[in-house]
Amino acid sequence: MKLPGEAGEHLAARAALLDGTYREVAARLPTNTQIRFDDDGRLHLAALKPEAEPASLVRLRVAVRAMLPAVDLPEVLLEVFSWTGADRAFTSIAGGEARLADLHVTIAALRAQPAVDPGRVFVVGHSMGGKVAPRVAAAEPSVAGLVILAGDAEPMHRAAVRVARHLASLDPGAGEVAKLIARQAAVVDSPDLSPSTPAAELPFGLPGSYWLDLRGYDPVAAAAALDRPMLILQGGRDYQVTVEDDLARWRAGLAHRPDVTIRVYDADDHLFFPGAGPSTPAEYEVAQHVDAAVVADVAGWLAPRGRSGGGGGPGCP
């Protein structure tokens, strides 16, 4: 560190430097408009004005957002755990294991609660949660019905390409990200995809086992095989899960079902926030309320239904 042998010499030099700095600052105080002392001798500093974000930072934020799954992160983790068993590598604070295979135990415990009607336990899923809701209901016969909000039916890797290209159309700086996701999606479609395919070559860094399972899952077919009523809701301005690419699949696959009700809210985005004009990721960053009509429709649809006496809705429009 090249320090002198005597500490006193070094400390004296540091003290002189500090004293000189203090005096230099004090000499500039009379002309410094950013600093003032009040009558009690307290120092006040003027607030710093925020600097404008550089264009590169804005592009980076859009690019990173485009690389993230079009679902909530907890949903992705739960799905990965259910397909790979990775949750068994973790132990809770209480010492027990988190086993998604024990979902039926959770539902049974819910149905046993005095305040819960055991014949009226419904599964409600949003986005990818809506996609897997039929799978949950198929595994648990006691589920009375499904409410699917903006449930994606298009294969997720292909939807990711569509969404990435949409974001690149809003910001050309995200074009390279869109190309990367397209290349990764092609690997998912490849017959050579296997559990050993490096996750870095696949969308969102999710493992090959995840994509193999998801590739073989058809949410519409799974829903059509169920004998439960369903309410499927969709935002008209949603660019992640769309009327054309996703809802059209639900409609086609469930058109024969009188116990399936489908409703579209033209002004709503993916989070069912009402608005106007094309939806953008920036809308999600503003605190808002879910469209009151959506809340009322879900509550109204659930109210009369149960496994023993619940009928279907007016059917698919």
Residues carrying an active site annotation:
127, 238, 270
Name the DSSP letter for residue 49: P
Cα distance between the two ends of the chain: 78
**Helix pair 73-84, 208-215: axis angle to 10 deg:** 90
Calculate ∠ Cα 184-77-99, nearest 5°.
135
Residue with tokens 């399936």: 260
Say if CB 263 and CB 300 are below 8 A apart.
no
The torsion defined by the Cα of 82, 86, 88 and 89, in degrees rounded to 10, comes to -170
Output the six-digit token pair for 289: 């309320």
Which residues, in sequence order, are CB contacts of 263 under 8 Å at separation 6+? Answer: 231, 232, 233, 234, 297, 317
Give me the half-sphere count of Cα atoms (radius 13 Å) on the Cβ side of residue 40.
Answer: 2
> How far apart are alpha carbons 149 and 171 in whole angstroms?
28
Helix (H) or strand (E) holding 45: strand 43-45
φ, ψ for residue 124, nearest 5 deg: -115, 125
User: If DSSP states are collapsed to H, E and C, what string results for 54-76?
Assistant: CHHHHHHHHHHHHHCCCCCHHHH
Residues forming beta bridges with residue 274, ordered by sequence position: 268
Nearest to 184 by CA among 202, 204, 157: 202
